[in-house]
Amino acid sequence: MLLAVLALALIILDAKTDLLKPLREQFTGLSAPLYWVTSLPERIGEWGDDNLTSREDLLAENAALRSENYVLKQKLQKMAALTAENAHLNELLNSSEIVDEDVLIAKLIGVSPDPRRHEIVLDKGSNEGVFVGQAVLDADGLVGLVIETSPISSRVLLIVDSQNAVPVQVLRNNVRAIAEGTGIIDRLHLRHVVATTDIVEGDMLVSSGLGRRYPAGYPVAKVYAVEANPGQAFLTIKARPLAQLNRSRHFLLVFSDDITESGNEAGEPGNE
Amino acid sequence: MNNNQARLVLILISLLLAFMLAVSPLPDQWRWLRPNFVALVLIYWVLREPEVVGITLAWLVGLILDGVTGVYLGQHALSFAIIAYVVIVLHKRLRMFSVAQQAMLVFILLGLDQMINGWIDLVLRGGREELLLLMSAVIGGALWPVVVALINRFHGRLSSSY
């Protein structure tokens, strides 16, 4: 009886306050080896893929990567010119310049066993400078943000979790919206979009950087259904995340000056 | 190593294995079907050794599971304490049951565990209640004979000598 009351008190304390955070961090740190051990079969498979391939396969892969590299380099050349032009235009407009972001590559070591929660565990923690609130990407788009760190691991809340939302804008016309997680791994909803808004199927959504949680300009999702119901004031817009949320094994943790300092800046509005 | 120590080691190892099964990665759609392995092993030990594994230990194991899986601290502590209480109250009768009859009760207990956790999640986080969750309790009940047979292989040697 006493234990039941104690458990209920713990649940409420944990859900509503930050008091239990140190304890949770301890648990996250202690459970990292457990997640690491359970991801071993997958790692061995990966190692096998790397080390037990034939020479022909390696040569073919090498050739494919080299040609991809040339294509990317060609695009980069264009990018350099565009970046310079963009910076110049921004200067003319007197707006702040766009900062380059540093990234840290992390490996996936665990997935939340609770099917109601979309969370993953990565193998980099506060020892490598990972902090709570940091944005996480994969090769295709925005993945989520760090909600818990231990020295050797960190827990990431995916953008599709029902507790998460990302400020986005449409790439085509810069219309802003908020993409909310639904708890379904391949679906985001845009909330409170008025019926006359110009969003159509196939529109690309990129992070807008509003709210200072996520860095601006990263691809988030692609709209695949726009339903207008005359009985409702808002459109029902569904989008599919671009990041391979349930397939990627490697993730990028973004370090941008803007985001790390957001805590201080948010505290003193109107300083800029 | 005497019998008591051996028993404690066996309890620890079986729980550790259950924890590993509980966090091992599964495809997204399959996560709904994973039975609560830790609860299964815990029920076994409360049933066999109620003097060693009681309500308090069950509560602690639940708390560790909460910490490891990243849900609200106390969720599984609550449900495991309730499960342990029911098993302790019924343990004399349960031992007389056949394994199939025990499996029915295990199914009910695992379903209770899922429902308590589902309700807490529903109240604190919102979202939908999924009846699919009870599927994992059905699978857990079906796995009960396997768990009993597996642990009995090691445990039987210990308990036969006293």
The pLDDT, as a whole number, for residue B31 is 79
**How far apart are the CA of B56 and the nearest CA of chain A, in angstroms?**
8
Q: How many domains does chain A have?
A: 1
**pTM (global) more than 0.95:** no
Residue pair A183/B127 in contact (Cβ under 8 Å)? The answer is: yes
Confidence grade of residue A263 (pLDDT, cut at 50, 70, 90):
very low
Would you say residue A23 lies in a domain? no
Which CATH number is A232's domain given? 2.40.10.340
Assess whether pLDDT exceeds 80 at residue B62. Answer: yes
Would you say residue A227 lies in a domain? yes
* Among A58-62, A99-103, A112-116, the least confident range: A99-103
**How far apart are the CA of B161 and the nearest CA of chain A, in angstroms?**
34
Would you say residue A28 lies in a domain? no
Of A3, A110, A116, the CB nearest to B25: A110
Strands A102-111 and A154-158: unpaired
pLDDT per residue as tens digits for the range B97-112: 888 899 999 999 999 9
Residue pair A148/A156 in contact (Cβ under 8 Å)? The answer is: no
H-type helices in chain B, by residue range? 3-23, 37-48, 55-69, 75-96, 99-125, 133-159
d(CA B61, CA B137): 19
The pLDDT, as a whole number, for residue A257 is 62
What is the DSSP track for A210-271? GGGSS-TT-EEEEEEEEE--TTSSB-EEEEEESS-TTT--EEEEEE-HHHHTHHHHHHSTT-
pLDDT per residue as tens digits for the range A108-134: 888 888 888 889 999 898 899 999 889
pLDDT per residue as tens digits for the range A140-160: 889 999 998 888 889 999 999
Assess whether pLDDT exceeds 50 at residue A262. Answer: no
A117 at the B interface (CB within 8 A)?
Answer: yes
d(CA A86, CA A184): 38
Would you say residue A225 lies in a domain? yes
Would you say residue A21 lies in a domain? no
d(CA A155, CA A184): 19
Assess whether pLDDT exceeds 50 at residue A62. Answer: yes
Would you say residue A25 lies in a domain? no
Would you say residue A50 lies in a domain? no
Q: What is the mean pLDDT of residues B17-42?
A: 86
Which among A130, A136, A165, A97 is positioned nearest to A260, based on CA atoms? A130
**How far apart are the CA of A31 and the nearest CA of chain B, in angstroms?**
5
The pLDDT, as a whole number, for residue A241 is 94
Range of the domain at A136: 99-263
Give which of A116, A155, A161, A162 to mutate to test B binding, by max B Cβ within 10 Å. Answer: A116
Would you say residue A174 lies in a domain? yes
Residues within 8 A of B (CB atoms), A 245-264 only: 246
Average per-residue pLDDT for chain A: 83
The pLDDT, as a whole number, for residue A240 is 94
pLDDT per residue as tens digits for the range A201-257: 999 999 988 888 888 888 999 999 998 888 888 888 999 999 988 888 889 998 876
Beta partners for residue A154, in sequence order: A122, A149
Assess whether pLDDT exceeds 50 at residue B60. Answer: yes
Name every chain B residue with its beta carbon within 8 A of the beta carbon of A115: 28, 31-32, 130, 133
Which among A9, A155, A6 is positioned nearest to B60, based on CA atoms? A6
Average per-residue pLDDT for chain B: 86
